Chain A
Amino acid sequence: MIQAHKPLSEHAAQRLTLDTEPYLSCDECFDLVDSYVEALLADPDHDQLAMRTHLAGCAACAEEARSLLCYVAEQDGLNPEPALQRLENDPA
């Protein structure tokens, strides 16, 4: 039996048309995420366009980056919010 797909919401339309250039693979994102998270916690204005773009376009990598950031912040007694806000920003 063919089941209906979820309705195409406006939010899904935004996800579908996201500009994900410059391209970064999930493996490359994983290689960089630890240093990226530390850099964001040290300076919430830190920017790496390729990482920011990938995380906006890949829900799984984004959840793991947010989780790592929160966990490292907790271990270090830091407020994760400023860095999290940067992490959530869509590509410019």
Chain B
Amino acid sequence: MSLVGANDRVPPELGLADAEPENWVEALSIPGPLQDHAMGWLHQMMLRASRHQVRRMRPALAGVGDERLEEIANQAADEAMMAVLTKLHTFEGRSRFTTWAYKFAILQCATEVRRYAWLTREVELDDLTPLRERDRSPASYAEAADLASAVRGAIEVALTPHQRRITIALLIDEVPIDVLAQRLGTNRNALYKTVHDARSRLRAHLIVSGHLATPHPQAGTS
């Protein structure tokens, strides 16, 4: 269901039918015809940004019809609008309001598309199945192959079972982080932190084994 109805039109006498609100926060906060106008404008913005995201991710939705894609975009736009209104008090003006608002539509729509694309796919979360190395072409570089082999070993000895399961799912099996978060009842932050810690452990292990160079003391401080 759309959040904007047919009656949410600004009265013609206000002369704002085609005008973006000058002060979005005020326009969205104070009940009245200007708020109705701002809400309608915002919903159109959310819908256009959601359609943009659906178009970008179209290859992940092969076989899905246009009607379903439009439903995904509309659902994302509605939820993004709710998120914008809920977070309105946090807008600090560090960017334009429109850019700030677009990011909610893009996040919401990208998440919807990823989850829809994986709706019928299993997520393998065991840490017992041995990792295989990719079959190599004669042109493969020995150094890169050596690193892959060393990483495979490090995953088995340097990570906790939880880190191993999450890291394999996200970085090797390429399960989208939103999909994994939904299946595990957690969130993107928690999974990214697990991967961050796993990467630190892998790097430390591979530096000791000589497969990675010790970071330069000045690296990453600029």
Q: What per-residue 1/0 map shows which CB atoms of B104-130 lie under 8 Å from chain A?
A: 001100100010000000101010110
Closest to A53 in B: B220
Closest to A23 in B: B196
Shortest A28–chain B CB gap in Å is 9
Shortest B195–chain A CB gap in Å is 7
Identify the A interface with B (CB < 8 A). Answer: 2-10, 12-23, 25-27, 30, 33-35, 37-38, 47, 49, 53, 57-60, 63-64, 67-68, 70-72, 74-75, 91-92
**Chain B residue contacts of A27, Cβ below 8 A:** 188-189
Whether the Cβ atoms of B173 and A10 lie closer than 8 Å is: no
Whether the Cβ atoms of A34 and B134 lie closer than 8 Å is: no
Contact of B103 among A2, A7, A9, A34 (CB under 8 A): A34
Majority DSSP secondary structure for residues of B touching A: helix
Whether the Cβ atoms of B102 and A8 lie closer than 8 Å is: no
Whether the Cβ atoms of B220 and A13 lie closer than 8 Å is: no
**Chain B residue contacts of A4, Cβ below 8 A:** 129, 132
If the complex has contacts A9-B134, A16-B167, A16-B199, are A60 and B110 also in contact, measured as CB distance less than 8 A? yes
**Chain B residue contacts of A19, Cβ below 8 A:** 199, 203, 215, 219-220
Contact of B145 among A6, A10, A53 (CB under 8 A): A10
A46 and B174 CA atoms in complex are apart in Å by 30
A91 and B199 CA atoms in complex are apart in Å by 15
A58 and B156 CA atoms in complex are apart in Å by 22
**Chain A residue contacts of B131, Cβ below 8 A:** 5, 7-8
Contact of B172 among A8, A25, A91 (CB under 8 A): A8
Contact of A7 among B124, B134, B202, B222 (CB under 8 A): B134
**Chain B residue contacts of A59, Cβ below 8 A:** 174, 176-177
A75 and B101 CA atoms in complex are apart in Å by 13
Query: For window 180-222 of chain B, which residues contact chain A by CB distance below 8 Å?
Result: 188-189, 192-193, 195-196, 198-200, 202-203, 206, 212, 215, 219-220, 222
**Chain B residue contacts of A75, Cβ below 8 A:** 98
Q: List 18 A-B contacts (CB under 8 A).
A: A5-B129, A6-B172, A7-B132, A8-B172, A10-B134, A10-B148, A16-B151, A17-B203, A17-B206, A20-B195, A34-B95, A34-B100, A38-B95, A38-B99, A60-B176, A64-B107, A67-B53, A67-B56
A75 and B110 CA atoms in complex are apart in Å by 19
Whether the Cβ atoms of A67 and B106 lie closer than 8 Å is: yes
Closest to B148 in A: A13
A1 and B171 CA atoms in complex are apart in Å by 22
Whether the Cβ atoms of B202 and A67 lie closer than 8 Å is: no
Shortest B73–chain A CB gap in Å is 13
Closest to A71 in B: B52
